[in-house]
Amino acid sequence: MSQAVKLVIMAAAVVVSFAVPALAQDAGTSISFSGAFGAGLVMLGAGFGIAKIGAAAVESMARQPEASGDIRGGMIVAAALIEGATFFALIVCMVA
């Protein structure tokens, strides 16, 4: 498991652990994860994904400069697919 995934899981655990005492104070209020929180997570995940693709593509181009055109094309297609999934998830979070 990468360091970024571990950091995100630990941050989520801290947020949830702080939510329990907040919920115990008043029975009429509750903390809910809204669409804005989901949209933020979607954008964060997409940013990390595209950054990973870009880093791998640049490293591959440095290792094999003669294949840079093919690598660039594959990187653009993969980034476009991630963007499409991100926009779909973003719309779902905004509607929910």
pLDDT digits (tens, 9 = 90+) for 1-56: 678 888 888 777 776 666 655 555 555 556 567 777 888 888 899 999 999 999 99
CATH of the domain at 46: 1.20.20.10
Tell me, yes or no, whether 27 and 55 share the same domain.
no
CA 36, CA 20: separation in Å to the nearest integer?
21
pTM above 0.95, yes or no: no
Q: Are residues 27 and 53 in the same domain?
A: no
pLDDT digits (tens, 9 = 90+) for 54-82: 999 999 999 999 999 999 999 999 999 99
71/25 same-domain check: no
**What's the CA gap between 76 and 70, in Å, rounded?**
10
Please tell me whether residues 49 and 69 are part of one structural domain.
yes
> Domain containing 13: what range?
1-31
In angstroms, the CA 44 to CA 10 distance is: 15
CA distance 30 to 91: 25
Q: Are both 39 and 19 inside the same structural domain?
A: no
